[in-house]
Amino acid sequence: MTKSATPRSALSAVTALCAALALAGCSMIPVYNRPAAPVAVDWPVLPANTSATGELSAVPAADLEWQDFFSDPKLKQLITTALNNNRDLRVAVLNIESARAQFQIRSADQLPSVNASVSGLRQPNINGNGSISSSYTAGLAVTAYELDFFGRVASLKEAALAQFLATQEGRKTIQISLIASVANTYLALLADEELLAITQQTLATRQDSLKLSQLRFDNGVSSELDLRLAESLTEVTRVSLAQQLRQRAVDQNTLTLLLGQSLTPELMPRLATGSGLATMPLLQDVPSGLPSDLLARRPDVRQAEQLLLASNANIGAARAAFFPRISLTTSAGSASSHLGNLFQSGSYGWTLAPQLVLPIFDAGRNQAGLDGARVQRDTAVAQYEKAIQVAFREVADALAGRATLGEQSRAQQAQADAETIRFRLADLRYQNGVSNQLELLDAQRSLFTARQAAVLARLAQLQGQVTLYKTLGGGWKEAALNTAP
């Protein structure tokens, strides 16, 4: 460590360091221009004879909290449980913390690291007289601090910041998908319960018909053809019952995975006695807005754009690698040739050791790094554009469902009502000997099919509303997340 009689030289060194820091910060990051959205300026025009369902809300989906969108207390309880326990969401939160740490590391690289340093050195003198020289130092040291004249470190920090913001948007996307998945699975389980009840009722009816057919056949009143038809319809219903039981078990397992815990009895979806999906109120009908709104409303689109910004910042770091890299090593403190005199008055000293490294020959390494960064940026552009296209298609599909599923559900329920009346009339005609058993069994089969179709149509209508809410970015409030790194 070089000795100094006065601290004025050290002050000059510190001044030079501050001037270097002030000059640092030149950025070589390309100017970012958001790519044009590769989608139409408006949604596809739907047929004029279709109609939307529900009353249109004045609040956009992205601004409508899920607690306000869903009114079913049981469903709210399930969603809350999933948000607290779901493992995918937990991993997403941990990814945010990991990205936050990387950003803080890159931010710290812009400032020098000051360390306390104590060192000692003993070595033989070069004059060959056998004496040993000693040197002891203690003080503060800055080692190999890069003066970021060409913005390499700043570019890496900007890339880390964009990566951090992208993980936040990814967390929002996972939460939105989780809420929609819980809601759709809940509705599917309610439909399973209703379909199971319909199947069990139909099986009981067909078993009674089979007993009657067997009795009529044994007494020679009807042919074996009628008996075998009744037997076939009974077994078809048994097949449907087994399918419904299996589907309910599968949906329960899906809900268990989404919740992140066992499906306890108090969390189990159940239909109220005498009710069904047809009696459930419609969910709020949210406005679709314009396709350009997706750029600001959809977290997955914003995530793709942040990844694009990160790739753009990496180009700046790759460009800066072509220019000189200046690093600084400095220390200030006490120095002495005797350990006992290390902290005595007059032992102050300092060192300043700047270093400049200019690339001359690297076998094309820096150029390859720049080319790779540009390819990654072009890839990120394509992924961003695809995210917009996928979002547009999802919303367009959901809007098509909103425009048609309501009419489909209404017509399907009307058919089920008509088949109910037809079955009653066929049964009355059969009891009075006006029609044969074949007509009764055909009416019974049509009624079973129509009732099942009505439940599935209503399920599709309700799930379509959930899907539209999801595709428009609903299920997350921006103010609920602290975005400060």
Average pLDDT of the chain? 85
Lowest mean pLDDT among 300-314, 431-445, 447-461: 431-445
User: How far is residue 447 from each of residues 196, 200, 412, 454, measured CA to CA in Å?
Assistant: 15, 14, 11, 10
**pLDDT at position 24 over 80:** no
> Six-digit token pair at 386?
């695809």
* pLDDT beyond 50 at 6: no
Please give the Cα distance from 435 to 165 (Å, whole number): 72
pTM of the model: 0.85
The average pLDDT across 433-455 equals 90
Question: What CA–CA distance (Å, rounded) separates 384 from 378?
Answer: 10
Look-up of token digits 């869903």: 70
pLDDT at site 335: 74
Q: Please give the share of the chain, as a percent, with pLDDT higher than 70.
A: 86
- pLDDT tens for residues 98-141? 999 999 999 998 888 888 888 777 777 776 666 777 777 778 88
First-to-last alpha carbon distance for the chain, in angstroms, is 39
Confidence (pLDDT) at 273: 67
- The H-assigned helical ranges of 109-262 are 152-218, 224-259
Task: Provide the pLDDT for residue 485.
Answer: 53
Q: Is residue 89 very low, low, confident or very high in pLDDT (cuts 50, 70, 90)?
A: very high
> pLDDT-based confidence at 50, cuts 50/70/90?
very low
The rounded distance, in Å, linking the Cα atoms of 195 and 210 is 22
What whole-number percentage of the chain has pLDDT above 90? 51
| pLDDT tier at 280, thresholds 50, 70, 90 | confident
* pLDDT the model gives residue 21: 47
The model's pLDDT over 418-427, given as tens digits with 9 standing for 90+, comes to 999 999 999 8
DSSP labels, 77-127: HHHHHHHHH-HHHHHHHHHHHHHHHHHHHHHHTTSPPEEEEEEEEEEE-TT
What per-residue confidence (pLDDT) applies to 295? Answer: 85
| Entry field: residues in the chain | 485
Report pLDDT for 121.
76
Structural domains for the chain: 1-28+113-147+324-358 (2.20.200.10), 31-110+150-323+364-480 (1.20.1600.10)
Q: Which residues, other chains included, contact 159 with Cβ-Cβ below 8 Å and sequence gap of 6+? A: 106, 310, 311, 313, 314, 317
